[in-house]
Amino acid sequence: MLATLFALLFCVGFANTNKAHASNNRVYDLSEWQGNFTAKKVKKLKHEVPFVILRVQYGSSYRDKTFNNNRKLLEKYGLPYGVYSFSRYSSAGAAKSEAKHLYKLAPNAKFYVNDYEMASVKYGSSNNATKAWVKALRPLVGGKKILFYSYQHFMLQHASKALKYYDGYWVAAYQSKKPSVNSVMWQYTDRHYSNALGKKIDASLLGKGKNWFIGNVELPVANKGDNASSKSTNALVPDSQKKSRPVKTQGSVKYYNSNLKLTVKDNANFNFYNHLGEDTTYSSRKRLHLVKDYKAVTLFANKKGVTKNGDVYYRVTRHGKSMGWIKSNSVENYIDYKSADEEKTIKADATGEFNEHVKGSHFAENKALGSVQDLAGKKVKIIGEAKKVGWNTHYYLVQYEGKTMGWTYQSVFE
């Protein structure tokens, strides 16, 4: 009776606490166990949650049966989504493959999650494999968030050393009180009832604002069409927010209008071509330019091509002249830099690193220069700021007692 009373009091208290903000701070993670979405369900979901998290795969050999259907409906009706992979990697090499496979299947997700909750590593350490997972994914997703999900006990045993390489920890703990471990999201139940879906599901509470997860990656701008000047805007436009359908399909390639400002990465290795090889409407393809001659160069994309296997390419121009098509993993978000002269205080509980360069920039190597925790609670000088095109937040270049510490994200400051 006491247990029942406690459960009732918790449920009532919890519901009252979150009632006013239920649509802002509660999210669902969903898989084939919840079945295929319908247009009606997705429209209702938009009033229940700010975004959802979809399972894409179980290891890299099993694809979730409902992912493609559900993804398409979410994109069509404008409900953002992140994705997760239930990890089964047995080594660091297998972890890299699983991470790359996740991106290949979900290149337009807002953020990515490594769901590692069952010990599977047989070769090497699980910490090294878990680190390899995020390191393999980072060059592909740029500034998008990459999270680690697991139960706290499992994380401490198998991934505690690798956790610092992720943008945040999503902790699973079905209990009344939020775990004390530092986390960005808390999965508190697997029995939350969703009116939109008509069933009980996993639910989590956000430890940060929804924009931390989905709002700092790509923001919508007016789509002026393929004939508009590529210099008319400098904001990134995801297809899910711009058009729900491709403007054209040729061969096994779907084409979308784009309006992006990009920078060629230092380690880019895909050259510029006149056509995509998967577009069978063209009889031949030829190389137009060597990418090694254009490293760190600014480009404008006016068309996006997505192949059947999920590879993404951009048709780009430079100084108003066509350069041809380049693969998405050879370019990065353009970053605006400017000098600054102000003081900020680092949060007492701040975590993260100072880096040689802004994360997700075009530089091939980005060394960690120190821990933000070393200056927790300290007032520091800001000598530079950087803003990725399409973002509404900044990175700052920090100086302390006359020493340049490196670049870090704005969330570490009060």
Residue 362's pLDDT is what?
A: 85
Q: Are 326 and 314 in contact (CB under 8 A)?
A: yes
For the cut 70, the answer to whether the pLDDT of residue 84 exceeds it is yes
Phi/psi at 132 (5° precision): -60, -35
* pLDDT, mean of residues 183-194: 95
For the cut 80, the answer to whether the pLDDT of residue 92 exceeds it is yes
* pLDDT, mean of residues 307-332: 88
Domains of the chain: 18-214 (3.20.20.80), 239-333 (2.30.30.170), 335-412 (2.30.30.170)
138-157 tens-digit pLDDT: 988 877 899 999 999 999 99
d(CA 311, CA 307): 5
Residue 192's pLDDT is what?
A: 94
221-230 tens-digit pLDDT: 222 333 333 3
Tokens 């953020």 correspond to what residue?
A: 111
Phi/psi at 348 (5° precision): -65, -30
Residue 235's pLDDT is what?
A: 33
213-252 tens-digit pLDDT: 986 433 322 223 333 333 333 333 333 334 435 677 888 8
Angle made by CA atoms 61, 66, 70, in degrees to the nearest 5 = 130
Q: Are 201 and 190 in contact (CB under 8 A)?
A: yes
User: What confidence category does residue 186 fall into, taking pLDDT thresholds of 50, 70 and 90?
Assistant: very high
For the cut 90, the answer to whether the pLDDT of residue 368 exceeds it is no
More confident residue, 400 or 142: 400
Least confident of 25-29, 34-38, 136-140: 136-140
Residue 231's pLDDT is what?
A: 32
Residue 246's pLDDT is what?
A: 66
The identity of residue 211, as a single letter, is N
Check: pTM over 0.85? Answer yes or no.
Answer: no
For the cut 80, the answer to whether the pLDDT of residue 260 exceeds it is yes
For the cut 90, the answer to whether the pLDDT of residue 17 exceeds it is no
User: What confidence category does residue 23 fall into, taking pLDDT thresholds of 50, 70 and 90?
Assistant: low
User: What confidence category does residue 283 fall into, taking pLDDT thresholds of 50, 70 and 90?
Assistant: confident
For the cut 90, the answer to whether the pLDDT of residue 361 exceeds it is no
Beta bridge partners of 147: 113, 168
User: What confidence category does residue 285 fall into, taking pLDDT thresholds of 50, 70 and 90?
Assistant: confident
Q: What percent of the chain has pLDDT over 70?
A: 86
Identify the sign of the CA torsion 20, 24, 26, 29. positive
